[in-house]
Amino acid sequence: MKPEQLYRELKELAEKLDIRVLEQNFRPTGIHVKSGYCKVKDKDHCIIDKHLRLNQKVEVLAECLAGLPIESIYIVPAAREYLDRFKPQEFNSDDTVPNRQD
């Protein structure tokens, strides 16, 4: 899937999840600003630096959406596969740190 299509699909998914996607100009202001998820007045946003390359915008949006309950929402398979790469790793109780033998 082309990056343009993937970006469009992810933006549509965000809309279905009531997440507003905004592209903003992050001009140097002396304050460190980074693209990503934020909540403003109890509304979910994914704010993206409009000067990022398209593939970076796709990654930021995928990071915002990864881990959300999207199983019941139709997403084209290529977009779902892409999102799966960004899902947070689940902790398995079998994945414990081995006991140290001092």
* Domain range list for the chain: 3-26+34-84
Cβ neighbours around 36 below 10 Å, total: 14
Residue 17: the pLDDT is: 95
Residue 59 CA to residue 99 CA, distance in Å, equals 37
Supply φ then ψ for residue 66, to 5 degrees.
Answer: -60, 140
The strand order across the sheet containing 19-24 reads: 19-24, 43-49, 36-40
Residue 63: the pLDDT is: 94
Give this prediction's pTM: 0.79
Q: Each residue's pLDDT tens digit in the chain (102 positions)? A: 899 999 999 999 999 999 999 998 887 767 788 899 999 899 999 999 999 999 999 999 999 998 889 889 999 999 999 999 988 776 555 555 445 454
Listing DSSP states for the chain in one string gives: --HHHHHHHHHHHHHHTTEEEEEE-----SS----EEEEETTEEEEEEETTS-HHHHHHHHHHHHTTS--TTS---HHHHHHHHTTSPPPP-TT-PPPPP--
